Amino acid sequence: MEKYNVLSVLVDNTPGLLLRVAGLFNRRAYNIASVVAAETEDPAITRMTIVVYSTDDTLEQVQKQLMKLVDVREVKVLNPHNAVCREHLLIKMENSEESRTAIVNIACLFDAKIIDSSEKSITFELTGEHDKLNSFINMLRPYGIKQLTKSGISAQERG
């Protein structure tokens, strides 16, 4: 049975590494749901958080294939119960007199911040777990989403 799995991958911060990782997934026909990559506390090392929808067997193959890449230092599958996982969302909504109160009230329910506002649109920012962001989006959808940008999941082990 396929489920979403979060991989934390430590790699050397070298040019073209993201392309090599994406190429590996492409060649093996593995699907990347999201990828977030940035320097760690050590500028020579990048942490990639890769979300894949896979079976346990496929996940094991993904781990083995990643470890074959020269610049990969470590691959961990993060257990959702022992990890902090967050996404970042920017969402621009229609700003009309009829919908303004409703969308601001929904934003308040989710602790979203208003980061831009004009006569025609209002933009919110929200950070949280994947399901929380999807619930927020689904509640706002009837009011006219103009633009939506999600970061993908960033994650760390607890403790």
* Residue whose token pair is 């090392």: 45
CA distance 140 to 64: 41
What is 3-78's CATH topology? Alpha-Beta Plaits (3.30.70)
Banded pLDDT at 85 (limits 50, 70, 90): very high
Three-class SS of residue 59? helix
CATH number assigned to the domain covering 84-157: 3.30.70.1150
Tens digit of pLDDT for each residue in 68-80? 999 999 999 998 8
Are the CB atoms for 80 and 48 separated by under 8 Å?
no
Return the closest-CA partner of residue 37 out of 60, 14, 56: 14
> How much is the pLDDT for 9?
96
Are the CB atoms for 37 and 100 separated by under 8 Å?
no
Domains 3-78 and 84-157 share a fold: yes
Three-class SS of residue 152? coil
Angle between helices 56-67 and 17-27 (to 10 degrees): 140
* Residue whose token pair is 């691959």: 75
Tens digit of pLDDT for each residue in 94-138? 999 999 999 999 999 999 999 999 999 999 999 999 999 999 999
Q: What residue spans define the domains of the chain?
A: 3-78, 84-157
